[in-house]
Structure 1
Amino acid sequence: MKNRTPDTAETAAGAGAGAGRRLPAHADLNLLRTFLAVYRAGTFTAAAPVLGLSQPTVTAQIRTLEQQTGRELFTRLPRGVEPTPLAHELAAQTAGPLDALAALEGGGPLAGPATPVHLAGPSELLCVRVLPALAHLAAGGVQLRVAQGLPEPLLEELRAGRHDLVIATRRPRGRALESVPLADEEYLLVAAPTWAERIAAHPQADDLCAALREVPLVTYAEDLPIVRRYWRTVFGKQLTSRAAVTVPNLYAVLSAVNAGAGVSVLPRSLCQEHLDSGRLALLHESEEPPLNTLFLVQRPGTDANPDVIRVRDTLQHAARDW
């Protein structure tokens, strides 16, 4: 492929006159291809293999294009880059023509291997809900790179370009990241059947909070965030008990409670199967059980990757039945 095709370059890059920002007429197609690859990948490092270039070359080409435009295209972050408003504008102008050109040429960097979709969220939700919902996309050729973790670290990593989509248990702060409500997760107070029987036989069984004071608490964190919220929302009381067992994730909490370690509050999606089989017992039927809203957060600039859109839309559709 030739490095320059002036007519096509001007078509791809010169459509932004309405905003008063026009690339120089001599803009090199290779620079525009590199720009679009970085815009879609979110990092110089991830764009390099797609382009068949080294990371320093990608960095140098973006720097050259920024010199030609006289504006910064990407904000450099500790991990990855964040497109500037000019970059969003330039991507909208160039993506269609450059992709069409790559298709006509029957190859080229932009027509290479599909860019993986980087998705992250709570480990339990990923296993129970998310991965089953996306299985058909993986079978259809969508590449998924899945990570797990807590909301705030994952959102920071998304801002740094490490993830395209994050499922978070709280809405991200500020307006830099757009999010949409995905589903409401219901939380239940559960224990093994042996503990349920002992609680029912307690002299103060009519006062569940009093009966539970002697039952060990199992939670994923020392400060009992989920259990404290349940007590406050459902019973209107402050929880004074301390955790007997803390384990690092809700699957581990479920395992411990199922084995008889004590009582805990768990999302229905995680424990419903155990309730149906009788391995767990529901200790309290609340008229208005606590709900935690899940949010789907998308990194700016990832709309250009059609697989990100497929994953996003699939999750939103599947979440209607969660």
Structure 2
Amino acid sequence: MVHRAELATLRTFLSIYRSGGVAKAAYGLGLSQPAVSLHLKNMEHLVGRPLFERSGRGIAPTEVGHVLAAQVRAHLDALEGVLGAYQATAEEHAAPLFLGAPSDLLWPHILQRLTPLVTEGLHVHCRIGFSPHLTEALLDGQLDLAVLTKIEHAPTRQLHLRHLCEEEFVLIGGVGERPYSHHDAGRRFIGYSGAMPMARRYFRQCWGAPPPTPVLTVADVRTLAAAAEAGTGLSVVPRYLVQSALDAGQLAILHTPQAPVVNSVHLAARIGREHLPRVRAVFDVVCPAA
């Protein structure tokens, strides 16, 4: 028979496995590091073998640790979801919801739709970030929900994903700029980050090549649009964020691809937590299932 204490140590083990460290697991669980270390020690005593080993500056799962995680994670996540579903709705709405998203997607796709829930008493705390960091925070238990613009290479088996929207990327520049050709050398580009995520997708689909190195990076699309309008450089951005400037003749589209360059955006929760009333309420309001 599995006792309550053993379930707690299993939950701690899984948190360490997902987060990759005792300190991160302690933060996500709201426990002290000594308590988490004790849980891990008890679990290794129960299993009879080490579950983690030192790796560089941190720890890595042993083969036994990988096997145990594969065996228990779906069951523990399901139990957490079932128990969460029985919590009182009033208590759930009183508890804060922690949400992560890129800054440019937060208001138009999320917050303006949450007004009814906030009016009913839901407290929402937002974190700005990129998909890899937001995914890690989801799995650590630091976030309840996250808007992910990239799920390639993400641990999708550990995530409950719901389609939020499609972004269409457009290549823009100032009014009067000549159309862009891939053979144009020396055209300045500006981007969201050094990795140029939007331009990278655009150039890969249109020309099968990497984008130019940016002369300016700023993690805010509206600032990129303003810089492009001022002639700082060309940029690839989501159409919906610059459509009004395009309509007003303040910006120009400098290239038209054979097929629209689009990116799927998802709203995500950790598997098992999608059943929590406050999380389910946000899913239903922001991206209701078809």
Structure label with greater radius of gyration: 1
Counterpart position of 1:314? 285
Counterpart position of 2:117? 137
Counterpart position of 1:118? 98
Q: Any residues of structure 2 matched to 1:23-42 within 5 Å, and which?
A: none
* Residue 87 of structure 1, CA deviation: 4.1
In structure 1, give the amino acid aligned to 2:173.
A
Partner Cα separation in structure 2 for residue 164 and residue 310 of structure 1: 12
Pair 1:193-2:175 in alignment:
yes
Go from structure 1 to structure 2 and tell me whether the alpha carbon gap of 1:256 and 1:300 turns closer, same or farther (over 3 Å shift).
same
In structure 2, give the amino acid aligned to 1:186.
E
Counterpart position of 1:284? 255
Which of the pair has the greater relative contact order for Cα pairs under 8 Å at 6+ separation? 2
Structure 1 spans left out of the alignment, 5+ residues: 1-20, 36-42, 49-54, 104-109, 201-206
Q: Answer whether contact 1:115 1:305 (CA < 8 A) is retained.
A: no
Q: Answer whether contact 1:189 1:264 (CA < 8 A) is retained.
A: yes
Percent identity between matched residues is: 26
* Residue 159 of structure 1, CA deviation: 0.7
Q: Any residues of structure 2 matched to 1:269-280 within 5 Å, and which?
A: 269-280=240-251
Q: Answer whether contact 1:169 1:293 (CA < 8 A) is retained.
A: yes
Q: Answer whether contact 2:131 2:149 (CA < 8 A) is retained.
A: yes
Partner Cα separation in structure 2 for residue 93 and residue 281 of structure 1: 52
In structure 2, give the amino acid aligned to 1:138.
V
Q: Answer whether contact 1:194 1:260 (CA < 8 A) is retained.
A: no
Counterpart position of 2:272? 301
**Among candidates 137, 160, 181, match of residue 208 of structure 1:** 181
TM-score by length of 2: 0.68
Counterpart position of 2:136? 156
The superposition leaves residues 273-317 of structure 1 with CA deviations (integer Å, 9 ceiling, x where unpaired) of 111111111122334121111122111332453111111122214
Q: Answer whether contact 2:162 2:267 (CA < 8 A) is retained.
A: yes
Q: Any residues of structure 2 matched to 1:223-262 within 5 Å, and which?
A: 223-234=195-206, 236=207, 238=209, 241-262=212-233
Partner Cα separation in structure 1 for residue 120 and residue 77 of structure 2: 29
Go from structure 1 to structure 2 and tell me whether the alpha carbon gap of 1:237 and 1:137 turns closer, same or farther (over 3 Å shift).
same
Q: Answer whether contact 1:128 1:270 (CA < 8 A) is retained.
A: no
Partner Cα separation in structure 2 for residue 139 and residue 288 of structure 1: 42
Go from structure 1 to structure 2 and tell me whether the alpha carbon gap of 1:85 and 1:140 turns closer, same or farther (over 3 Å shift).
same
* Residue 208 of structure 1, CA deviation: 2.7
Which secondary structure does the structure 1 equivalent of 2:107 belong to?
helix
Q: Answer whether contact 1:219 1:243 (CA < 8 A) is retained.
A: yes
Which secondary structure does the structure 2 equivalent of 1:209 belong to?
coil
Which secondary structure does the structure 2 equivalent of 1:154 belong to?
helix
Q: Any residues of structure 2 matched to 1:36-185 within 5 Å, and which?
A: 84-85=73-74, 87-88=76-77, 90-91=79-80, 99=87, 111=91, 114-171=94-151, 172-185=154-167
**How many residues are aligned here?**
248
TM-score by length of 1: 0.62
Partner Cα separation in structure 2 for residue 96 and residue 306 of structure 1: 6
Go from structure 1 to structure 2 and tell me whether the alpha carbon gap of 1:208 and 1:125 turns closer, same or farther (over 3 Å shift).
same
- 264-273 or 284-293: bigger deviation: 284-293
Partner Cα separation in structure 2 for residue 95 and residue 248 of structure 1: 36
Partner Cα separation in structure 2 for residue 92 and residue 248 of structure 1: 35
In structure 2, give the amino acid aligned to 1:170.
K
The superposition leaves residues 225-265 of structure 1 with CA deviations (integer Å, 9 ceiling, x where unpaired) of 4224323322x253574322222332331221122212111
Partner Cα separation in structure 1 for residue 83 and residue 194 of structure 2: 51
Partner Cα separation in structure 1 for residue 284 and residue 2 of structure 2: 34
Structure 2 spans left out of the alignment, 5+ residues: 12-24, 52-58, 60-68
Which secondary structure does the structure 2 equivalent of 1:296 belong to?
strand
* Residue 174 of structure 1, CA deviation: 5.0
* Residue 124 of structure 1, CA deviation: 0.6
